[in-house]
Structure 1
Amino acid sequence: MQRVTAANGEKGAVEISDRLQLFVDSYLIDRTVGAELRLHSPVPREVSFPFDLPWEGPVSYYVTVAKEGDLYRAYYRGAGNPGMPEVTCYAESRDGIAWTKPKLGLFEIQGSRANNIVWMGRGCHNFTPFLDTNPAALPEHRWKALASAGPRDSLVPFVSADGIRWRMLRQEPVLTQGAFDSQNIAFWDSARGRYAAYFRGFHLGVRAVLTATSEDFIHWTEPQWIDLGETPPEHFYTNATTPYFRAPDLLLAFPKRFVPERQWDAGHGETGLSDAVFLTSRDRIHFDRTFMEAFIRPGHDPRNWTDRNIGVAFGVVPTSPGEISLYYVEHYRHPTCRLRRATLRVDGFASVRAGYAAGEVLTRPLLFSGGQLAINYATSAAGSVRVELQDEAGRAIPGFTMRECPEIYGDELERLVRWNGASDVSTLAGRKVRLRVRLKDADLYAFRFVA
């Protein structure tokens, strides 16, 4: 029997209540037989927009994508065209697919205010906004950002009421320990009730990630290094860390992995290659690297085999009932530099997968609330999923055995599991229960106990 070590090294009961649980690491898993965790790379879709305006250019970068109501917003650095200063640009969309760059009339460039610039001056190198969901946030501070607008190696806070008109919250830096020349991420961490920031530093000569927290966005804790466990050191140029909007207790990160010594195109002036990788964290400090392989590869396009490409934007957003979208910069330093969208099924970053020969996964003991078990799964036409509920000792609970669960097949985001035709599991709520799931040519992405 193949054993999978839990991400936190423990095997005790996990209190999950009615929260969505994703199979993105081994945290919930006690053991598997003939099944494995599988990473799913997003599917590249259309080019969202090129960085083709005169004040944008081939080194436009550090993108943020956020969804507010029915409006998708993108913020990014405009840079790279001769004679142009760095500026912070804005685009918007009603579906996350077709984007426009509105003429906002806020800042003058080339003798005109007919442009999409939302900030100009100090901080434009890496201005990274977020929509503040803190219920105590002031209306005039609904949007916030950190940017390297102060002395070298420091971050200054910005605020906005509408995400368009920005001002510095204070001139003095709020964070001073780190290397702040790439994208510096901040967000309201609703699961912890505080602000969190993730930014770059150099640890033993390697680009690594620091984190700090704050109650008020002004006073921050001493930064500390995130812990990647016993994994080989790799350069993380950016991190794109974000709470997953469907399960905010889970942090997702999409670092740009930088390989500085490699050069694919000898005619390109800069060395270094990059791709994107996938990390998760349950406690905000320890990040799991179950998947060492690339999440997004450079692909067949030679313009992505130059330095600092495949920079994943800060933000994961829903773009249809069954689809989530990420965005990434490609063709960096080329005249065609642009933003591309990529998609996954909802909760589909990774899964427990078994092939045609079938396999099983057994969870740690779980403490849940709710009355029914719903799963996000996919099978082949010949595949199936079956679920058994066990007690803490691993004994099948009568009425919820594997034999009493008919085969489940299809491809659904939320399918109720039934035993003998009934889905009610409320009698087990509050007890320590394990899930034993048998998979045949199938993927199990997530589950949740629902009312």
Structure 2
Amino acid sequence: MKLLFFDPYHLESWRNVTFEAHQPVKDESPVLVPEHPWEAWRAFPISNCVMRDDAGFRMWYETGYDERSVPGDRLNRTAYATSADGIHWEKPALGQYDFKGSTDNNILNLGPFGVHNVSVVHDDHDGNPNRRYKMTYFAMPPRKNFSPIPPGINVAVSEDGVRWKLACPMEEPAFRAWRDVVPGRPTSSDTHSLVGWIPERQRYVIMARNVSLVPYMFRTIGYSESADFMHWSEPINVLSPDEHDPWGTEFYYMTVCRYEDLYLGHLCVFHNYSRRLTAGRPDTAQVPPELAYMNQRLDMKLVYSRDLQVWRYADADRGAFLPVGESGAWDSGMVFGSSILPVDDEVWVYYGGTPMRHIVEDLQHAGSDAHHRMCGGLARMRRDGFVSLRAGTEPGEFVSRPYELTNEALTLNSHTWDDGEISIQVLDAESDTPRSAVVTVRGDDVRMPVDFDLAALYGQKVRLRVTARNADLYAIDL
């Protein structure tokens, strides 16, 4: 069992320690760029669409071309890429989709209409090998008056993640678009994230995007579940902007993954501060100067939950986990969180990025030059490095709750600096009786060994007393 220190959940008592949030470091250049005619100006991951398996890395990314094949066509499409190292990506010809008379491209055949916001998971729960991979996406038929097919979230299944079959009729999507309400059918806006099968709930889960109309129309995060992946509950609201967020804040969507004993949410925040000008607030005639740069931009915040219902911010100050780039950078306008993957001693954070803002003035020029395109990026941090329990120059201390020892040795993910150190001792589960000597470690290691012989305590419940100085403790592996 691994203890992560996002909050005091694992602590029985503590003093003189703080919870410090950390950010990943972005690679300087994007790892995925539009380079083919059928990609036009966009090749970017959005939502839960990157995974790693025995064959390497796989990505289902959003792309789209600029020439409408039918009146009112929505040009978004989904393409497939593979990589041996997660950095250099190949776009194999799939032979599925006809683009200007040729199927020599990597576009997936998900139907004749626009496809937006694909989410893909590998499903170990479903015993049917033909349904091993699950996909959700927002189907975008030609605009109203051009097609009888309704927009909404469709679900699809696959044996290999490449050849897909709809699990529900296109005429009856699993979710109807929120503007197209049908009695008895759940509704959602276009952007969402498939979480997958949740064993403790015995349900598949989607984090949908809800729309609130009070006090004005704005986006929030909803939760929906299904026993069979086809019939879904009406999304309930689980995360909304509140009084601590500037007026005009919206939650665009949230990608969720399981990480150890937590669910991590990659919360995409839309800084729609210009809404102040039209929301009937007489005291907000203009966007405040301190908010002006972020106006109409999107960045990412990290939230976490233990039950997918109650969400908390990893950074108590609600700072960005993945901020937009500096002015002029390839991701200075919007970042769209995708997948969070443990890779060796690091955590890799995939995301989509663009220098364009979420305004018509930018988007109507999409593809006109390198400034007006959307790409895929990668940011990295140490494994378990989201939040640390920090002690400064004055020593801090905590005692853990009782936990069963599941290993015969302890390892720490920790970093000490200057004359810093971390000392740890095993205590009885119900008293302060020592069950080990005090062992002190120093240095920087994601798997710092603690020189205990715990074989005699294996399988027993114990508590840990930890004292530290000039140190960050990210995790303890029991």
Does TM, normalized by the shorter one, top 0.5? yes
Equivalent residue, structure 2, for 1:125: 116
Q: Is 1:24 matched with 2:6?
A: yes
Contact 2:351 2:376 in 1 (8 A): yes
Residues 74 and 92 in structure 1, CA contact (< 8 A), matched pair in contact too: yes
SS in 2 for 1:293: coil
Cα distance in 1 between the residues matched to 2:331 and 2:377: 16
Q: CA deviation at 1:242?
A: 1.0
- 8 Å CA contact 2:117–2:190 kept in 1: the answer is yes
Say if 1:376 and 1:193 are closer, same or farther in 2 by CA, change over 3 A: farther
2:440 corresponds to which letter in structure 1?
E
* Structure 1 range deviating more: 74-83 or 228-237: 228-237
Task: Report what 1:311 is aligned to.
Answer: 336
Which letter maps to 2:421?
A: S
Deviation per residue, 1:63-121 (Å, 9 max, x gap)? 51111213211111113645482211111101111111112121111222111101353
Does 2:20 align with 1:38? Answer: yes
Say whether residues 1:427 and 2:425 are aligned partners: no
Query: Retained in 1: the 8 A contact 2:417–2:443?
Result: yes
> What's the CA shift string for 1:205-236, capped at 9, x where partnerless?
43211112222212333422225798735421
Query: Which residue, 335, 341, 345 being the options, matches 1:322?
Result: 345
Quote the offset at 1:356 in angstroms.
Answer: 2.9
Q: C-alpha distance in 1, partners of 2:227/2:36?
A: 39
C-alpha separation in 1, matches of 2:455 and 2:304? 30
Match of 1:50 among 26, 33, 58: 33
1:358 aligns with 2:375: no
C-alpha distance in 1, partners of 2:424/2:242? Answer: 33
1:215 — aligned with what? 227
The answer for the alignment partner of 1:288 in structure 2 is 312
User: Within 5 A, what are the aligned runs for 1:7-406?
Assistant: 19-45=1-27, 46-58=29-41, 60-61=43-44, 62=46, 64-79=49-64, 81=66, 83=68, 85-120=75-110, 121-122=112-113, 124-134=115-125, 136-149=126-139, 154-171=152-169, 172-176=172-176, 177-190=186-199, 192-203=201-212, 204=214, 205-226=217-238, 232=244, 234-244=249-259, 247=260, 249-261=261-273, 272-291=296-315, 292-303=318-329, 309-313=334-338, 315-319=339-343, 321-331=344-354, 333=356, 334-380=371-417, 382-391=419-428, 395-400=431-436, 404-406=437-439
Q: How big is the alpha-carbon RMSD for the aligned residues of Structure 1 and Structure 2?
A: 3.0
For structure 1, list consecutive stretches of 5 or more residues without a partner in the other structure: 1-18, 265-269
Seen in structure 2, the aligned counterparts of structure 1 residues 161 and 86 have a Cα distance that, compared at 3 Å, is same
**Native 8 Å contact 2:132 2:158 kept in 1:** yes
| Superposition deviation, residue 256 in structure 1 | 1.0
Change (3 A) 1:412 1:435: same
What is the deviation of 1:271? 5.9
User: Cα 1:378–1:228, aligned 2, differ >3 Å: closer, same or farther?
Assistant: farther
How far apart, in 2, do the equivalents of 1:415 and 1:290 lie? 24
Task: State the shift of 1:429 in Å.
Answer: 4.2
Q: What does the per-residue CA deviation read over 1:148-190, in whole Å, with 9 as the maximum and x for residues that have no partner?
A: 2386563221111111111211112223434331133231224
What secondary structure, in the 3-state scheme, does the structure 1 residue paired with 2:31 have? strand
Distance (Å, rounded) in 1 between the aligned partners of 2:37 and 2:241: 45
* Cα distance in structure 2, aligned partners of 1:101 and 1:423: 50
Q: Does 1:417 align with 2:450?
A: yes
Task: Name 1:10's counterpart in structure 2.
Answer: none
In the alignment, the residues of structure 1 paired with residue 95 and residue 355 of structure 2 have an alpha-carbon distance, to the nearest angstrom, of 28
Matched residue SS, 1:241: strand
**Counterpart-to-counterpart distance in 1, 2:159 and 2:207:** 23
Instruction: Between 334-343 and 151-160, report the one with greater CA deviation.
Output: 151-160
Against the structure 1 CA distance between its residues 70 and 356, is the aligned structure 2 distance closer, same or farther, given a 3 Å change threshold?
farther
Q: Tell me the CA shift for residue 332 of structure 1.
A: 5.0
- The separation in 2 between residues aligned to 1:365 and 1:344, in whole angstroms, is 30
**Separation in 2, partners of 1:26, 1:57:** 48
> 2:469 matched to 1:440?
yes
Alpha carbons of structure 1 residues 231 and 387: separation in structure 2 relative to 1, 3 Å? farther
User: Does the CA-based 8 Å contact 2:194-2:207 persist in structure 1?
Assistant: yes
**TM-score scaled by structure 2?**
0.78
Note if contact 1:384-1:442 (Cα within 8 Å) is conserved in structure 2. yes
Distance 2:373 2:233 in 1: 41
Identity %: 27
SS of corresponding position for 2:130: helix
Distance 1:75 1:251 in 2: 22
Structure 1 counterpart SS, 2:415: strand
AA at the equivalent of 1:441: N
Matched AA of 1:201: N
Pair 335,140 (structure 1): closer, same or farther in 2 beyond 3 Å: same
Using the alignment, how far apart are the partners of 1:145 and 1:52 within structure 2? 25
Per the alignment, residue 280 of structure 2 pairs with: none
Which amino acid in structure 1 is aligned with residue 136 of structure 2? Answer: L
| Native 8 Å contact 1:146 1:186 kept in 2 | no
Distance 1:354-1:300 versus aligned 2 partners, 3 A rule: same
The SS at the match of 1:27 is helix
Say whether the 8 Å CA contact 2:18–2:390 is kept in structure 1. yes
Once residues 232 and 336 of structure 1 are traced to their aligned partners in structure 2, the CA distance between those partners, rounded to angstroms, is 33
1:271/1:43 Cα in 2 relative to 1: closer, same or farther (>3 Å)? closer
Q: Does structure 2 conserve the Cα–Cα contact (< 8 Å) formed by 1:106 and 1:113?
A: yes
Tell whether the 8 Å contact from 2:153 to 2:188 is kept in structure 1 after alignment. no
Check conservation: 1:153, 1:180, Cα contact below 8 A: no
The AA in structure 1 aligned to 2:342 is P
Q: Bigger CA drift: 277-286 or 60-69? A: 60-69
Q: Show the counterpart of 1:14.
A: none
CA contact 1:55–1:87 (8 Å) conserved in 2: no
Structure 1's 131 and 381: CA in aligned 2 closer, same or farther, altered over 3 A? same
The normalised TM-score by structure 1 is 0.82
Indicate if the aligned counterparts of 1:277 and 1:295 stay in contact, CA closer than 8 A.
Answer: yes
Structure 1 runs of 4+ aligned residues shifted over 6 Å read: 228-231
1-side partners of 2:224 and 2:312: how far apart? Answer: 18
Partners of 1:182 and 1:227 in 2: CA distance: 15
Q: Tell me, yes or no, if the aligned pair for 1:272 and 1:306 is still in contact at 8 Å.
A: no
Please say if residues 49 and 338 of structure 1, whose CA atoms lie closer than 8 Å, have aligned partners that are also in contact: yes
Contact 1:142 1:162 (C-alpha < 8 Å) held by counterparts: yes
Q: Is the partner of 2:139 in helix, strand or coil?
A: coil
Once structures 1 and 2 are overlaid, which stretch shifts more, 178-187 or 297-306? 297-306
Shift of 1:397: 2.3
Aligned length: 413
